[in-house]
Amino acid sequence: MTTQTNSATDFTFPGSAMTVNRMGYGAMQLAGPHVFGPPRDPDEAIAVLREAIASGVNHIDTSDFYGPHVTNQIIKRALHPYPENLVIVTKVGARREDDASWHPALERQQLIDAVHDNLRNLGLDALDVVNLRVGGITGPIDGSIEEPLTVLAELRSQGLIRHIGLSNVTPRQLAESQSIAPIVCIQNYYNVAHRDDDAFIDDLAAQGIAYVPFFPLGGFTPLQSSELNTVAASLQATPMQVALAWLLHRSPNILLIPGTSSRVHLRENLQAASLQLSTQVLAQLDAISAASPNR
């Protein structure tokens, strides 16, 4: 695998006028523990969002099943009326029970209700991008997604959704989806240690489609690597900053949505965008993938 070094800071979603800073923000951690209930510190959650926007972030990833409803309501409270250039990407396809469990929600009425929940809680008339979330917890499950995607395509034709993306999908599912509606982004599990989507990313880049890795820092099990620690020390950066910088170097269609409920961590994440990685450093980081059990 050849790691590409592209320093472009912006990306324009295909077929749209939406241009975003490639370093965005993921709102999942604004909810309470296990992405359920209210945050421990609502005022800090609002401050994080406002500082992100003030720092140049104009791409927020969220979902109404975070909380549920919590993150969207915080986003609205913190940022509404929204800046003109802000792109809010949400997702549907799951629901939460009272015990905080996660369940698929891909039936027609469930998807329609989810879109309206997002609209109401965000205070919007139309959603910029809606990702259809399918598959398992962290990996795709191959099979047709025609039925749920057709529902989103209908909502798009009604003007409630401007653009459609997919989350946790295979290349085959993308190809099926493109026969139903244009797809502007893919959101899959990918990071410096988990690189199963290498070929997929390159194909999407050729098509001009955004790739947005979820769990860019390992998710609920943070990345652990001696190589990552060594590189970080040599660059006077944190391992997580290096992991984010590697993703920005990997391909110009990769958009980042690291999440945090802390302004201190937000600043650290944003600083990763200015971190330059040499060819030698990139080769060292490739060793992380070679040693990973995910490969």
Q: Which residues are catalytic, by number?
A: 66
In angstroms, the CA 152 to CA 148 distance is 7
Start-to-end CA distance of the chain, whole Å, equals 13
Residue 165, burial from CB neighbour count under 10 angstroms (0-12, 13-18, 19+): buried
Q: Which residues pair with 59 in a beta bridge?
A: 87
In angstroms, the CA 270 to CA 57 distance is 9
Phi (first) and psi of residue 183, to 5 degrees: -115, 125
**Contact in structure between 231 and 284 (CB atoms under 8 Å):** yes
In angstroms, the CA 231 to CA 197 distance is 23
- Residue 66 sits at the vertex; the CA angle it makes with 65 and 72, to the nearest 5 degrees, is 95
**Contact in structure between 194 and 221 (CB atoms under 8 Å):** no
